[in-house]
Structure 1
Amino acid sequence: LTARADRYGVQWQEYLDAFQSLWDSPPRPVQWEVAFGNAPDEVGDENRERLPVVVFGVEDDVVRVRGRIDRIDVGAVGGKAVYTVIDYKLSRSPRTFNIDDVESGRALQLVLYAFAARRLGFLEADLFQFGFWSLTGDGFVCGLKQRTKAQKPLDPETAVSLERTLDRVLPRLVESIRNGQFPIVTGDPSETYNADHAAVARMASFRSVAEVLDKRLPVATASIPVGSEA
């Protein structure tokens, strides 16, 4: 336990240092295990306020989402309160993603939580960033892949694009599931050349099943593939 506490202390200081030039007031955790909708109860929930479901979609084409956010940090930048959504991971190197991964439905959870926190309305703060916190690795890492190692706030235009993507993708994803459409999508076919033997075998099996059972994307929804993280 002492070693883990020491590791977390180092991670916390590196997290503060990464954004030091941006903060007026450094971030601090203000919410943990934020359950919304009818998320399954866990120990300690009896002392927490039950938040409503979060709605994504446009007009009548909507879905109601439940979930549990690991942690929300709040600080101040440019004289305004801002928040960061954090998802804890045990893996040493959490898999970051790009906007295309969100568009295709392969990386929804963290982005969904970031905007769910905004739509729930219990934070008087703007979205600053979202990311993973590796408890066994290097601590905080931004969820979206970045060209440089320097940490920076989420670009406002990117934030708008991501939120609109959720409103568009989530209802179609749910509709496909309700209609029994489960296309098998393993990503870029060339990925087998860079995978280990076991992964190559699994992907080859998936593709053969897709061929035999005709588990392909319907033409109507081909522009938005159904990913593995629903």
Structure 2
Amino acid sequence: MPYLERDGDVFVVYLGNEGQTDSENRFHPDWIAEFHDLLDKVEASQGPAALVTTATGKFYTNGLDTDWLFGNMDKSHGYLDRVHSLYTRLLQFPLPTVAALNGHAFGAGAMLATSHDFRVMRADRGFWCLPEVLLGMPFTLGMNALLTERLTNQVCVRAMTTGHRYPADEAIAAGVVDAKADADALLSDAVARAAALAGNRKPNLPVIKRGLHARALAGLAVPTTSENLAFALG
């Protein structure tokens, strides 16, 4: 389950289990609930602050908990809406946010990274990837809105229709991430970037973010139904 630490003015949410380095950090419903609880704690703080998310080991996050999802298809619409709630929350989070991609960010996990203000990726290994086309899975209307508003059209075409795996240099060139760092410097780099922005925690920050991301937020607010998921499935 995710857990929280603090480094000066920067809150660091780790996406995996404390002391465990081999988790894929998938979005089980309990994981989603815990992530929101940690963000509640961060929001309840006072004064200058910023947020970094990261993990340890091979994965930043591998996205949807497909084992849970395929075992609970009767709850799939509500589950996907809860996934959307993570993106919605981060897009308009009242603190500056930085994702430190320590490893693979795949599918819904790649979208989680894309929901942050800024992204720093490990230089030597790990991919940002949307493999849905290869898995026969659709993008929900909300996911489509997030990606098409945060990335350029041609990057979306390549990422969404081919499942291309972006290493750090390609991800930077495509605007998928902002920077790269060596593995041993990744977290400190992300924390430094976040700390430099901590003073921007002011009441107008979420207002600015809601304006910037209005179309993505509108798409994410559409409840997932059989009708619009069927549309996504074609």
Q: Which has the higher helix share?
A: 2
Structure of greater relative contact order (alpha carbons < 8 Å, 6+ residues apart): 2
Q: Which has the higher strand share?
A: 1
Larger CA Rg, structure 1 vs 2 = 1
Normalising by the residue count of structure 1, what TM-score does the alignment of the two structures yield?
0.29
